[in-house]
Amino acid sequence: MTEFSGKVAIVTGGGTGIGLATARCLAEGGAAVVLCGNKEAPLAAAVDALAAEGRQVAHGVADIGRMADCRAVVELATARFGGLDILVNAAAILSSGTVETMAEESWDRVIGVNLGGVYRMAHLAVPEMRRRGGGAIVNVASVQGLACQTRVAAYAASKGGVLALTRAMALDHAADNIRVNAVCPGSIDTPMLRGAAEENKGEGTVEETIESWGAMHPIGRVGRPEEVAELIVFLAGPRAGFCTGGEYKVDGGLLAKIGVVLPE
């Protein structure tokens, strides 16, 4: 597949999970990809593996809660590959708590990374895309931005904000030929989900907890990062040329159901 030949992409959260799966799909489609994350080791391993396959890749270690770090990643993409056409905002953090129990520092950090990171990266990416005649931004939100569970106040607020920001960006930059969409994953087997399972497993195991969460989805399992990546890559490409301002669920039917279960 060469759908993305000649295109340059940045994927935040590119070292693991949905971000890594998306970076791989884009690179396999012919794009030059800059993987961004806050840990050197997984980024380097991912880039080494993709480079060994002949893909055009680079990586930048960055805290997307800091504008200077975000700027360095965008400058890496433009200096190494000549521009920027696609931005995938997949980086996120999770900190459990209610508005009563969360410390202000934890609240600010979650909002600053999950929502502020989308702003920072887009703030820097839009001018570069405009110079190239347009582009595509795909934001990884969450079903938690549409309906949520308990003790995820900051995370849910951040993901709801991402959905609102996606709509605003789509309207503001449609005239620049920049499309902006969001995906809303359900439970996906990522390091973040496994960390949450470790925190909430009680007397069970991580695998048992993930299996029980999967059973809550009508499809009967948690999703795979590659299943989310496929939709992200579609939205980033020309086949989705008339899609902007949308939010697309990848949730195994989770939000299609209500809590009441009728007897068989």
The per-residue pLDDT for 259 is 75
Given this model, what pLDDT does residue 1 score? 56
Per the rule left: phi > 0, alpha: psi between -120 and 50, beta: everything else, 220 is: left
If you average pLDDT over residues 22-43, what whole number do you get?
98
Reported confidence tier of residue 78, pLDDT bands at 50, 70, 90: very high
Tens-digit pLDDT profile for residues 118-139: 999 999 999 999 999 999 999 9
Same domain for 159 and 100? yes
Q: Is 180 exposed, middle or buried, given 0-12, 13-18 or 19+ CB atoms closer than 10 A?
A: buried
Give residue 151's domain range. 8-186+224-249
- Residue pLDDT, tens place only, 210-259: 999 999 999 999 999 999 999 999 999 999 999 999 999 999 999 998 87
Catalytic sites, residue numbers: 155
User: Is 198 domain-assigned?
Assistant: yes
Sign of CA pseudo-dihedral 198, 203, 208, 212? negative
Same domain, 115 and 213: no
Strands (E), the chain: 8-12, 32-37, 57-61, 86-89, 135-140, 178-185, 247-250
Residue pair 4/30 in contact by the 8 Å Cβ criterion: yes
Q: Are residues 81 and 207 in the same domain?
A: no
Residues 235 and 201 in one domain: no
Domain count, the chain: 2
Task: Of 164, 188, 86, 71, give the one whose Cα is nearest residue 120.
Answer: 71
Q: What is the pLDDT of residue 264?
A: 72
Question: Is residue 2 one of the residues assigned to a domain?
Answer: no
CATH number for the domain that contains residue 97: 3.40.50.720
Are both 106 and 197 inside the same structural domain?
Answer: no
State pTM to two decimals: 0.96
Residues 153 and 215 occupy one common structural domain:
no
Instruction: Find the helix or strand (DSSP H, E) in which 30 lies.
Output: none
Same domain, yes or no: 202 and 149: no
- Let me know whether 88 and 207 are in one domain: no
